Amino acid sequence: MTSSAEFREFGKAMVDYVADYLDGIRDRPVLPQVKPGYLAPLVPGEAPEEPEDWKVRGESSNSYSYSNSNSSNSSNSSRNSFSNTL
């Protein structure tokens, strides 16, 4: 990031990303729907020489992780520590 305007844009995008994730958490499976090791073949063998734009990086990482992460905050999860303490 090279400017405060870009930093603000990134910060707002991250807040939206987290809010969208939490809005849909009740619809997500509690356990991941993939097998261990699925991600390794999808990751490049070497780091890029030049930094990637955060918008591009975020879009590609979403397709790998967001849809395959577990939702320990799901209302269906017994590991939801907040709701278990109420």
Query: If you average pLDDT over residues 26-49, what whole number do you get?
Result: 85
Rg (CA), the chain: 16
Amino acid at 29: P
Q: What is the pLDDT, as a whole number, of residue 60?
A: 59
Q: Which CATH number does 4-85 carry?
A: 1.20.1340.10
How high is the pLDDT of residue 44? 83
Query: Over the stretch 38-84, which tens digit does the pLDDT of each residue have?
Result: 888 888 888 888 887 777 766 656 555 555 555 555 455 444 444 44
Task: Assess contact for 25 and 71: CB atoms under 8 A.
Answer: yes
